[in-house]
């Protein structure tokens, strides 16, 4: 669960987004679980972390959904009796999701939680904790596949120009912020991947960065001359001022000399984009989508963009990279025999 200070620092999103329901206190829910159910949660947590090698963030999300499910089943509330974990069936799974929907969860959230439940029950059945797999019979509404905001090419240029002007005075934080924005847009990497970079992850001779993505999969992503210049200025003039007496290997640092936190990186991007006239409010994910879109509009093929973004499937890349109508028409005019 995010801290109160983290929620306070979150950047508000403009527009008519529906107010999210309050998040349950998962730590309190987990503390209420019977010992047998807590043992199951701990075993699943070890499986996700050690056997599947998922990131801490992903493990927390999966475990949080399982805690919510098992609290619903084993603790009981009102007229709903408490049951043992071994009695978990598809009826209870559906009732749990129905309760989530009544509390205001959207289609995307319900789809994610249903998928988390199916993954969990499959593991529990495979390891002998459940006699059958009730999740195999669970259906959920399809998530709405929506595209995040995207910068136009000229807005991206304006963003980079503004970041460069901000760093002209050689202030360490401004140098860091310029390098951060340039690298995010140049590579399209995730904010968690950016914050996980070490100095040794960057190869200036080849202008590539080695990124460890989801599932601990490593990929190499190129970046251009502007990003290289911004990184060089940060490493030479900015980072030493923030590193303190015992600098670690992290490429990007916070003001206290520690590895930069993703929340802080998101704030940097939101504030930088806010300075661009007419630009849609966005964070690092918006820059990732913008980079992919501009690559595609510049002639990159979809599979190359998939490799750069680190997507496991092409279908995911198709969500993040949309082709403009003008580009589709140009391809049609060039390639179709009856154009």
Of residues 266, 270, 294, 311, which has the active-site annotation? 311
Of residues 30, 118, 178, 288, which has the active-site annotation? 288
Of residues 125, 214, 219, 259, which has the active-site annotation? 214
Q: Which of 255, 252, 185, 257 is nearest to 221 (CA)?
A: 185
Does residue 214 have an active-site annotation? yes
Q: Which of 207, 186, 206 is nearest to 291 (CA)?
A: 186
Does residue 57 have an active-site annotation? no
Does residue 288 have an active-site annotation? yes
Do 134 and 121 touch, CB atoms closer than 8 A? yes
Largest CA distance in the chain: 70
Phi (first) and psi of residue 266, to 5 degrees: -65, -40
Does residue 165 have an active-site annotation? no
Of residues 30, 113, 178, 190, which has the active-site annotation? 190
Of residues 263, 285, 322, 327, which has the active-site annotation? 285
Does residue 190 have an active-site annotation? yes
Q: How far apart are CA 214 and CA 310, in angstroms?
A: 8
Q: How far apart are the first and last CA of the chain?
A: 55
Q: How far apart are CA 193 and CA 211, in angstroms?
A: 6
Residues serving a catalytic function are 190, 214, 285, 288, 311, 320
């Amino acid at each position: 669960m995010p801290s109160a200070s983290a929620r306070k620092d979150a950047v508000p999103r403009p527009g008519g987004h529906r107010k999210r329901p309050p998040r349950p206190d998962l730590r309190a829910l987990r503390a209420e679980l019977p010992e047998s159910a807590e043992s199951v949660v701990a075993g699943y947590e070890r499986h996700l972390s050690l056997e599947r090698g998922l990131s801490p963030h992903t493990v927390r999300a999966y475990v949080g959904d399982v805690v919510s499910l098992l609290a619903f089943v084993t603790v009981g509330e009102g007229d709903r009796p408490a049951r043992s974990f071994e009695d978990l069936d598809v009826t209870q799974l559906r009732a749990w999701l129905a309760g989530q929907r009544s509390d205001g969860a959207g289609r995307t959230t319900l789809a994610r939680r249903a998928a988390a439940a199916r993954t969990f029950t499959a593991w529990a059945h495979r390891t002998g904790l459940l006699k059958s797999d009730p999740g195999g019979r669970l259906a959920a509404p399809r998530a709405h596949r929506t595209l995040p905001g995207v910068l136009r090419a000229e807005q991206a240029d304006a963003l980079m120009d503004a970041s460069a002007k901000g760093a002209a005075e050689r202030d360490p934080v401004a140098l860091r912020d310029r390098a951060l924005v340039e690298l995010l847009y140049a590579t399209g990497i995730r904010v968690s991947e950016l914050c996980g970079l070490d100095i040794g992850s960057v190869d200036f001779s080849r202008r590539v960065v080695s990124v460890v993505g989801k599932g601990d999969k490593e990929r190499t992503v190129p970046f251009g001359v502007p990003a290289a210049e911004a990184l060089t200025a940060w490493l030479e003039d900015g980072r030493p001022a923030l590193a303190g007496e015992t600098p670690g290997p992290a490429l990007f640092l916070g003001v206290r000399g520690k590895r930069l936190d993703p929340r802080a990186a998101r704030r940097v991007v939101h504030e930088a984009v806010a300075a661009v006239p007419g630009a849609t409010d966005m964070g690092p994910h918006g820059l990732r989508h913008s980079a992919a879109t501009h690559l595609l509009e510049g002639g990159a093929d979809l599979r190359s963009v998939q490799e750069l973004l680190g997507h496991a499937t092409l279908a995911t890349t198709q969500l993040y990279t949309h082709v403009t109508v003008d580009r589709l028409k140009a391809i049609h005019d060039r390639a179709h025999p009856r154009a």
